[in-house]
Structure 1
Amino acid sequence: MGGRRAFPRVCAAWWPPRGVCAGRGGDAGLQLPVRGFSKRPGPLGCQPFPGQLRPEHLSREELVVVLRAAVLDQKGPLVTLNKPQGLPVTGKPGELTLLSVLPELSQALGLGKQELQVVRASAKETSGLVLLSACPQTTSRLRKFFIHSRSAQKPTATYCAVTDGIPAASEGKIQAALKLEHMNGVDLAVPVRSASRKDILDGVKRTLSHFRVVASGSGCALVQLQPVTAFPCQLQVHMALQLCPVLGDHTHSARVASVLGRRFLLPAESTRPHGQVLDAALLRRLGLTPAQAALLPLHLHLHRLQLPGAGPRDAPTALLAPLPAYFSRTLQRLGLRLQ
């Protein structure tokens, strides 16, 4: 492919109708008989998180099988898949990542010598949409669209999250200056109060997210999040600042403490990350033991991604990724519904 008209031609053949999730997709695409997955059958106590991926138990060949089954749509050189939670996009040399198996995935999808590149992807602990392209021109144009949208402060990604706690407002925006700080052997995103110009030069970034509570009940909420800026763990930190950490956030939830039913933030500098602690009533509602809750996967899912239309005058379109099975199970247990 080449030339200025390559991208519109591909788009016209590929973009699904607005709000429609094309292709195979769905939870069924993740229920595979490979050893890296939690199985749906069996006692709930043994398999509390159906469909959860365990990349450390997979071979390269098995991971390619998983990713091929997770493909939502493929038209020409463009591929959309629903990434399982826990799979890193990039990593150190020798680590099993999405990027490391793209050559094999390209072959498995019949792309031949056209190797896939990552255009947009959810982070390791986040499930959801991944957009891949085997056409360099298309990759470049889509990346420029996302960069331009971010510069114009127009969010293109919508995440779904289940939170421990209900935000005080039903919708709004969260702003915070964040920096990465090496604490207890890991890099953590921590807030910075009254960030100065020198702080910004030293790596502090002003971040912004929009949120909307879709449903609430049992002391939890289903929240839609739209990041305007991009920073590691931005959404997790933003929800912790709202005193409503994301379920399965075993890092930033440690900052949220409670005394006599009232929540408050602990200083990031003196708070050691630990497994998320859920109250007894919520554990019963979720059907989990404290030990199982310590393994709860992060309930943050890249659900919707807005893309440009096929031509300059065409309306934007949207890709949708179904929720993971464990995420849907949590919603059912809490009586929450994605509208």
Structure 2
Amino acid sequence: MGGFRVWGRVSGGWRRGLGVCSRPRHAGCDARARRQPQPRGSDPSGAPGWPRPGGLGREELLDALRAAQLHREGPLVTLNKPPGLPVSGKPGELTLQSVLPELSQALGTGPLQVVRAPGKEPSGLVLLSSCPETASRLQKYFSHCRKAQRPTATYWAVTDGIPTPSEGKICVALALVHTDDVSRVVPVKSPSRKDIVEGVKRTLSHFRVMATGSGCALVQLQPLTGFPCQLQVHLMLQLCPVLGDHAYAARVGTVLGQRFLLPADARPRTQVLDDALLGLLRLTPAQATRLPLHLHLHRLLLPSTSRRGAPGELLAPLPPYFSRTLQCLGLPE
């Protein structure tokens, strides 16, 4: 798969009538988001509301996860995951799955398993189940919706830049490449059948700009495929990287005010924000290098409990740092 060339196709026309509200409900994402308890071990940079899951011990992480519980009904438990917490990892690493036995005991449930969760860097909804049959049924539902191209997950993102057009879909083939012990996702132009067999996957996301201000945007994203860092790469290809994306934002360069895509870099670099944006966010350049990823799994659809009923939904309030950024940029929640 040598000689990858960037390929991105964006077409207008937000799909409606997919059994999903085109405008996510904002209820619960204002006062509740600001009141959300934060884990101990806050960021030493002094920036408010920046959790540091990687700096927590096992007991502190359990305390944080107990405080992050959003809802519990029957065998289902939902959490609001902070950014930077991996769901799974190598043996011995501190991850969500590694503490599930203790968390199950602390919550008084049967053994919990992960049904749906965002990746390591995004924040947001984690759906757990203590019933294997319920977990299997939900996973089949999500798989069926994915095959039928019906989105079940809605993310919110703050982008450095404003996507054009303001709504549509992003279709691009992606591959996960490993170089010098570093993994990165790269777009692949016109993949062959051999490329697909070797791990290239065609990916698709819907997007809609919900608000703009100060050269940034609040964007709603609904992935229809699952691939590592899919949403981050899709927005990077739009030349509007997610705030706090220290893996792919460096591929967007600027000359005389015009943005362009740089060749894929072997190693991620921290995101560099211009002085005007740093001033609006009230951050120093050093603080900006530790800015959390502003990508949040806000809404998740569940199957209806009746044949003709509407799908159920779960909502996760925004993290305080996300709300703070919206306020600084003059963007509504």
Same fold per superposition (TM over 0.5): yes
Deviations 1:156-203 (A, max 9, x none): 000000000001111000011000111343110100011111111111
Between the aligned partners of 2:87 and 2:189, the Cα distance in structure 1 is 31
1:83 aligns with 2:81: yes
Q: Is residue 36 of structure 2 the alignment partner of residue 29 of structure 1? A: yes
Q: Secondary structure at the match of 2:172?
A: strand
Query: For the Cα contact (< 8 Å) 2:34–2:323, is it kept in 1?
Result: no
What letter is aligned with 1:277? Answer: V
Counterpart of 2:286 in 1: which secondary structure? helix
- Is the contact between residue 75 and residue 131 of structure 2 (CA under 8 Å) also seen in structure 1? yes
Structure 2 equivalent of residue 9 of structure 1: none
Residue identity in the other structure for 1:251:
A
**Equivalent-residue separation in structure 2 for 1:210 and 1:186 (angstroms):** 28
Q: Which residue is 1:317 aligned to?
A: 312
CA deviation map 1:115-134 (0-9, x unaligned): 00000001110100000000
After the TM superposition, which segments of 4 or more aligned residues of structure 1 sit over 3 Å from their partners?
A: 18-22, 24-27
Superposition pairs of residues 268-287 of structure 1, within 5 angstroms: 268=264, 270=265, 272-287=267-282
Give, as a single letter, the amino acid of the residue that structure 1 aligns with 2:162: I
Once the two structures are TM-superposed, the CA of residue 143 in structure 1 deviates from its matched residue by 0.4
C-alpha distance in structure 2 between counterparts of 1:249 and 1:299, whole Å: 8
Query: What SS does the aligned partner of 1:148 have?
Result: helix
- Kindly state the Cα deviation for residue 318 of structure 1 after the two structures are TM-superposed: 1.1
Q: Please give the per-residue CA displacement for 1:281-303, whole angstroms capped at 9, x wherever unaligned.
A: 11111111111111111000000
> Structure 2 matches for 1:114-129, cutoff 5 A?
114-129=110-125
**In 1, are the aligned partners of 2:36 and 2:320 still within 8 Å (CA)?**
no
What is the Cα deviation at residue 65 of structure 1?
1.0
* 2:182–2:266 contact (8 Å) kept in structure 1: no
Write the letter of the residue equivalent to 1:153.
Q
Query: Is 1:186 the equivalent of 2:182?
Result: yes
Aligned to 1:205: 201
RMSD: 1.9
Match of 2:10 in 1: none
Compute the displacement of 1:254 (Å).
Answer: 1.1
Residue 270 of structure 2 aligns to a residue in which SS?
Answer: coil
1:167 equivalent in structure 2: 163
- Per the alignment, residue 11 of structure 1 pairs with none
Task: Please state if 1:234 is matched with 2:205.
Answer: no
Distance 1:280 1:185 in 2: 33
Q: Give yes or no for contact 1:21–1:319 (8 Å, CA) kept in 2.
A: no
**Alpha carbons 1:55, 1:96 under 8 Å: kept:** no
% identity of equivalent residues? 67
Matches within 5 A, 1:1-339: 26-32=33-39, 34=40, 36-38=41-43, 46-50=45-49, 52-111=50-109, 114-268=110-264, 270=265, 272-338=267-333
CA contact (8 A) 2:83 2:293 kept: yes
Alignment CA distance shift 1:314-1:48 (3 Å)? same
SS of 1:159's equivalent in the other structure is strand
Contact 1:25–1:71 at 8 Å: present in 2 too? no
**Structure 2: how far apart are the matches of 1:142 and 1:25?**
28
SS state of the match for residue 315, structure 1? Answer: coil
User: Which amino acid in the other structure matches residue 283 of structure 2?
Assistant: L
**Letter in structure 1 aligned against 2:329:** L
- In the TM superposition, what is the alpha-carbon distance from 1:28 to its structure 2 partner? 2.6
Task: Judge conservation of contact 1:53–1:87 (CA < 8 Å) in 2.
Answer: no
1:288 match: secondary structure? coil
Gaps of 5+ in 1: 1-17, 40-45
Aligned to 2:5: none
**Aligned residues of 1:254 and 1:272 also touching (Cα < 8 A):** no
